[in-house]
């Protein structure tokens, strides 16, 4: 809007016969070429409602925010905590924010329910890949994450994501000191594997009875893990079939964990318990992992639950 022209006072006769005085403001507008950046950047303010999608992969549930056309991401630690509150917000295991990328199809940032950022999230990556593939009519995507550039492919009804090569160097996982990553100096003889985030994998006789809540919370913040860790409890059902239960860093018990499934498959193979391709039964469903020469590939079910909008009032209180 370029401005307005103000006309002198005018008068009209009201219903009762009295004269009503008013001032007429004539708005003078000019058409301008629409630009994305100013409008989209304005959408990041707390006074603007924010659209989201809710999805899950084998019960591992996510809020998806699409910021691909925004000048910058909209997520903060406080906002992630507020949205992640299952009583006062939406609730999620992780939040994934889609952003634009210069050379890849998109970029992804991941947030935990406690407001910390996650370097990787396999099931959220699969959910977002399925969404974008359907949107754009593609069967392959490249996705930039803190973990690196990940490749996603549609194979029949399944979305596979290459989660990259496992990290087996103690300093890069990271651990606080040099030790055997296949046999950590912790109770239960767990193993450590990095998949863009740290994992501590316990092999137990029966994952169903493992003390996931008590032991998971304890190991998450063990001094051996300077960045804290995800904690897995695994039992072997067959040479190609594992039972997995998970305590996720920054979230707690979840029904599944994609990067945790990948780390578990790597650790199980290195212990001689399985081959390189394995089915992993999590609390929320069945995942499949294939450790190939180019990385650890992950697949499993994906579900779209609903679309929603976070109100301006809610966002204003979450800054």
β-bridge mates for residue 106, sequence order: 143
Distance CA 256, CA 299 (A): 12
Per-residue CA distances from 116 to 120, 121, 176, 267, 282 (Å): 12, 13, 20, 26, 24
CA nearest 248: which of 108, 112, 89, 99? 112
Contacts of 180 (CB under 8 A, 6+ apart): none
Residues near 18 by beta carbon (within 8 Å), at least 6 away in sequence: none
User: Could you say which of 121, 127, 200, 262 is catalytic?
Assistant: 121
Total Cβ atoms within 10 A of residue 227: 13
Coil vs helix vs strand at 312: helix
Active site residue 121: yes
Quick count: other Cβ atoms within 10 Å of Cβ 251?
A: 21
Catalytic residue among 127, 179, 200, 257: 257
Does the annotation count 179 as an active-site position? no
Return left, alpha or beta for 160; rule: phi > 0 is left, psi -120 to 50 is alpha, else beta: beta
Structure tokens at 41: 């950047």
Catalytic positions are 121, 257
């Amino acid at each position: 809007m370029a401005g307005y022209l103000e006309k002198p006072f005018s008068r009209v006769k009201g219903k009762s016969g009295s004269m009503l005085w008013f001032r007429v403001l004539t708005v003078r507008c000019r058409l301008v070429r629409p630009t994305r950046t100013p409008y989209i950047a304005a959408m990041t303010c707390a006074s603007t409602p924010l659209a989201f999608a809710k999805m899950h992969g084998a019960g591992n549930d996510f809020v998806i925010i699409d910021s691909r056309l925004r000048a910058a991401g909209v997520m903060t630690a406080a906002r992630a905590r507020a949205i992640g509150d299952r009583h006062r917000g939406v609730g999620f295991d992780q939040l994934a924010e889609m952003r634009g990328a210069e050379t890849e199809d998109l970029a992804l940032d991941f947030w935990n329910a406690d407001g910390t950022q996650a370097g990787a999230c396999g099931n959220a990556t699969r959910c977002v890949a399925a969404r974008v593939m359907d949107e754009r009519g593609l069967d392959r995507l490249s996705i930039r994450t803190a973990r690196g550039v990940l490749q996603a492919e549609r194979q029949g009804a399944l979305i596979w994501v290459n989660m990259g090569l496992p990290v087996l160097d103690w300093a890069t996982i990271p651990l606080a000191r040099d030790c055997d990553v296949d046999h950590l100096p912790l109770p239960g003889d767990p193993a450590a594997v990095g998949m863009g985030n740290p994992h501590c994998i316990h092999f137990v006789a029966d994952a169903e009875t493992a003390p996931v809540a008590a032991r998971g919370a304890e190991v998450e913040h063990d001094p051996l893990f300077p960045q804290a860790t995800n904690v897995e409890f695994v039992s072997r059902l067959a040479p190609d079939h594992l039972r997995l239960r998970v305590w996720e860093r920054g979230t707690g018990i979840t029904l599944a964990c994609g990067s945790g499934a990948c780390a578990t498959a790597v650790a199980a193979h290195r212990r001689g318990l399985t081959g390189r391709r394995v089915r992993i039964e999590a609390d929320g469903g069945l995942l499949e992992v294939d450790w190939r020469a180019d990385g650890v590939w992950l697949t499993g079910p994906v579900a779209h639950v609903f679309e929603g909008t976070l109100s301006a009032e809610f966002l204003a209180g979450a800054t």
